Amino acid sequence: MSTTDSRMTGTMSESMTESATDLPPPTLGPLTHVALTVRDLSVSVPWYERLVGSGPVLDEDTGPFHHVVFAVGGTLLGLHLFPGDEGADEFDPRRPGLDHVAFLSPDRATLDAWRDRLTGLGIVTGEVVDAHYGSGLAFKDPDGLALEIFAAAG
């Protein structure tokens, strides 16, 4: 069949789209992993080991990239290094892409304990910010990636 065959033009595509929208949507599951691109694994891996409190569950050089993965609760947190990209622009949460990654805190009081722990690790944090939907503690990793520990309200 050629690419100009009338069966492959708008009419077929439109009917396929219409029938697909008639189906109930599948349920989207929880996040399984987040991958962050870093500049230097020799700096980022020890930093995240201190943050997470354990070592990585995977350290693999695939050729096109090297990744180190941590288990954080039920989610995997990956650090990726792409050879040749070490000099890329600084992270900016206002640029399209990632704004920040937030880790769950069970309650507001635990955020104070996290602030003390991070300060003890030499990690600069802001103050805990309270809002009607919850409270958050913001900080940055060695590459300036915005991170947060968040406790939902209620």
Domains of the chain: 29-83 (3.30.720.120), 98-154 (3.10.180.10)
pLDDT at site 19: 66
What is the distance between the alpha carbons of residues 1 and 7, in angstroms, rounded to a whole number?
Answer: 9
Condensed to tens digits (0 to 9), the pLDDT of residues 16-73 reads: 555 667 888 898 888 899 999 998 999 999 999 999 999 999 999 998 899 999 999 9
Distance of CA 136 to the CA centre of its chain: 16
What is the distance between the alpha carbons of residues 105 and 121, in angstroms, rounded to a whole number?
Answer: 18
Please tell me which residue, 11 or 85, carries the higher pLDDT value: 85
Distance of CA 66 to the CA centre of its chain: 17
Burial of 133 (0-12, 13-18, 19+ CB in 10 A): exposed
Condensed to tens digits (0 to 9), the pLDDT of residues 75-134 reads: 999 999 988 766 667 776 666 778 899 999 999 999 999 999 999 999 999 999 999 999
Q: Which among 149, 50, 70, 137 is positioned nearest to 106, based on CA atoms?
A: 149
102, β-bridge pairs: 148
Sheet with 129-131, strands from edge to edge, namely 101-104, 146-152, 134-140, 129-131
Q: How would you classify the pairing of strands 75-81 and 33-37?
A: parallel
Structure tokens that stand for 130 in this block: 């309270």
What is the distance between the alpha carbons of residues 114 and 151, in angstroms, rounded to a whole number?
Answer: 11
125, β-bridge pairs: 139
